[in-house]
Structures are given as structure tokens and as C-alpha cells.
């Protein structure tokens, strides 16, 4: 299926690795020109080279922290008028709610709620004026079913989700869609770290923790980042204009609800 995106421009945040990178790769494969970001310049440049070679797409890079004002200003200066914005950043650390003081909450809200909202605020009117825009926020399955050790993520991402539920209905008339993609377990560095922490906590081998997660999933496996990236590209496509304000859970069916 041609996604109808050739020649469009996209900002993909936090995209040197993992799910952000997979979204960038899938968009580039559709002929989208990219600006990809991450804090670490070396990995970012190496990812940009890989994407250029595998897709022939134009890929610009911006090394910086998307959770800071300066980082976002640099992104917007480099691409002020994107057709597509994929919001992403690292997730907050796990812990016990008693450990999280006001500063910890401000940091989590800054990264996983305020940063995406500020980028949306900066680009959404331009998208509406051009009568086309696609915004995808990478959130988490924690929005659907809270993960006790990730209370900062549960709270911050749900705040973003509530805001998007309202805003998405305000801009849809102008051809702009905003949706959230909620990953379950995907094979990225972040997941490796999470499984390693669980292995250390329970004194078990990492392989056992991973095998347990695979066995518990209805698909019998962990998700592949390329599956996530392609779903993101479809949400950005010309065919997805009637998908508005949705929270699309990609977890292999792990969440057991009927809806
Ligand atoms: P990952 O493999 O660790 O990759 C994270 C990417 O984000 C890297 O490119 C990293 O590069 C960049 N990044 C992190 N913080 C950044 C910042 N402040 N500014 C700019 N770039 C930043 O992680 P992932 O698994 O793809 O996860 C992506 C998001 O999905 C996270 O919020 C995570 O919590 C969430 N999630 C993931 C899963 C999963 O199973 N993988 C499940 C649920 C939710 P630098 O470090 O160089 O900046």
C-alpha cells in the first residue's frame, strides 16, 4: 500500500534507537524527509547514515535533549513546518512512590507530558493552515493498565493522553490527526534494561525473565520495533485521516480487556 507520504517532512524525536528509530525508518521507506533527534550525537549520526543508505531518504539530525526548552527550540529551528511529528523521549525511572519528590515528578511531567505538548503547540497551527498534519505520540501500555513500579510514567503519560483526547477533536476538521501509540513489550535497549533490573531484583538470569515475558504474551513473543514503526507510518498516512484521538495499544494482546 502506498501511504501517500512521498515528499512529506517529519520530525521524529528520540530516534537514534528503539521505537523512535523504527518510526523514522518506516517513514523514510515511504519517501518522507526526516529530522531525527537524540542526545547522543554519535549514535544519532550512525542511525541517520543507516537510514539514508537503506531508504535513500533525506535525513537531517539534531543532537539535543527534547525535554529541555533549548532542545525543542533547536528542533523547531531546524524544521519549523513539519507535516508529521512523532513525539518520543526516554521513560522515567522505576521505583516506589515514596521515593518520588516534587522534583522527580516535575522531571517526569516535563519529559513525558510537557515536552510533547510544547512541540505540538508549536507545529499544530501550521499543519492546520496547510490542511494536513499527523502527530503520533509514543506513550506506553501503562496508560491502559498502570505498572506499579512505573508510577511516574503512569501519571505523566496519562496527563498527556487526557490533553490529546481534547485537542485532537479541535484540530481534526483541518486535516490534522493526533493519536497515541501505546507499546507493550518491544525488543529495544530500554526493555533489555528493564528485564536486567527485574533479573537483578529477583536473582534470576535475564534469559529466564525474558522467556517468562514471552510465554505470558498471547503471541508467545516480544514485539519487533519494525512492527511498531510500520503502525506509526500507517497512522501518519493519507489513509488514516479518520483515526482521531485514539490510543492504540500494541502489546500482542497482553492486556486482557474486551476493549
Ligand atoms: P530506547 O531503545 O532506550 O531508545 C530511546 C531513544 O530515545 C534513544 O534514541 C535515546 O537516545 C533517545 N532519547 C532518550 N531520552 C531523550 C531525550 N531526553 N531527548 C532526546 N532523545 C532522547 O527506548 P525505547 O524502548 O525505544 O522506548 C521509547 C519510549 O517508549 C520510552 O518513553 C519508553 O519508556 C516507552 N516504552 C517502551 C517500551 C518497550 O518495550 N520498549 C514499552 C513501553 C513504553 P539518547 O539516549 O542518545 O538521547
DSSP state letter for 186: B
Looking at residue 144, its pLDDT comes to: 96
* Structure confidence by residue, pLDDT tens digits, 78-120: 999 999 999 999 999 989 999 999 999 999 999 999 999 999 9
Ligand 1 atom nearest residue 112's Cα = 32
Q: At what angle do helices 115-130 and 151-171 cross, to 10 degrees?
A: 20
Is the pLDDT score of 194 beyond 90?
Answer: no
* pTM assigned to the model: 0.98
Pairwise CA distance, residues 222 & 86, whole Å = 23
Q: Are 37 and 66 in contact (CB under 8 A)?
A: yes
Q: Is 167 in the pocket of ligand 1 (CB under 6 A)?
A: no
CA 63/CA 42 separation, integer angstroms: 9
Mean pLDDT in residue range 170-195? 96
- At 157 the pLDDT is 98
Shortest-distance Cα residue to atom 13 of ligand 1 = 14
CA 190 to centroid of ligand 1, rounded, Å: 7
Is ligand 1 within 6 A of the CB of residue 17? yes
Mean pLDDT, residues 230-241 taken together? 98
43 Cα nearest atom in ligand 1:
47
> Is 14 touching ligand 1 by the criterion CB < 6 Å?
yes
Q: Is 179 in the pocket of ligand 1 (CB under 6 A)?
A: no
The span from the first CA to the last CA of the chain, in angstroms, equals 28
Ramachandran category for residue 233: left, alpha or beta (phi over 0 → left; psi -120 to 50 → alpha): alpha
Q: How far is CA 198 from its chain centroid? A: 23
Residue 247 exposure: Cα atoms within 13 Å on the Cβ side: 19
Provide the pLDDT confidence category of residue 197 given band limits of 50, 70 and 90.
confident
- CA torsion through residues 45, 49, 52, 55, sign: negative
Mean pLDDT for the stretch of residues 12-38: 98
> To 5 degrees, how large is the angle CA 191–CA 196–CA 199?
125
Amino acid at each position: 500500500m502506498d501511504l501517500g507520504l512521498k515528499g512529506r517532512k517529519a520530525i521524529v524525536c528520540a530516534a537514534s534507537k528503539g521505537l523512535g528509530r523504527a518510526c523514522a525508518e518506516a517513514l523514510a521507506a515511504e519517501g518522507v524527509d526526516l529530522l531525527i533527534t537524540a542526545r547522543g550525537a554519535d549514535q544519532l549520526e550512525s542511525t541517520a547514515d543507516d537510514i539514508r543508505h537503506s531508504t535513500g531518504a533525506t535525513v537531517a539530525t539534531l543532537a539535543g535533549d527534547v525535554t529541555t526548552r533549548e532542545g525543542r527550540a533547536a528542533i523547531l529551528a531546524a524544521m519549523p513546518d513539519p507535516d508529521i511529528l512523532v513525539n518520543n523521549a526516554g521513560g522515567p525511572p522505576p521505583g516506589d512512590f515514596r521515593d518520588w519528590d516534587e522534583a522527580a515528578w516535575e522531571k517526569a511531567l516535563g519529559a513525558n507530558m510537557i515536552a510533547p505538548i510544547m512541540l505540538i503547540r508549536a507545529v499544530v497551527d501550521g499543519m492546520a493552515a496547510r490542511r494536513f498534519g499527523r502527530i503520533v505520540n509514543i506513550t506506553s501500555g501503562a496508560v491502559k493498565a498502570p505498572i506499579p513500579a512505573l508510577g511516574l510514567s503512569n501519571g505523566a503519560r496519562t496527563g498527556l493522553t487526557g490533553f490529546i483526547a481534547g485537542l485532537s477533536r479541535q484540530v481534526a476538521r483541518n486535516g490534522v490527526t493526533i493519536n497515541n501509540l501505546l507499546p507493550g513489550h518491544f525488543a529495544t535497549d530500554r526493555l533489555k534494561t528493564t528485564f536486567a533490573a527485574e533479573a537483578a531484583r529477583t536473582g534470576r538470569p535475564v534469559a529466564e525473565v525474558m522467556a517468562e515475558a514471552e510465554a505470558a504474551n498471547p503471541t508467545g513473543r516480544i514485539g519487533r520495533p519494525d512492527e511498531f514503526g510500520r503502525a506509526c507510518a500507517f497512522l501518519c498516512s493519507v489513509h488514516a485521516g479518520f483515526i482521531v484521538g485514539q490510543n492504540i495499544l500494541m502489546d500482542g494482546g497482553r492486556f486482557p480487556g474486551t476493549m
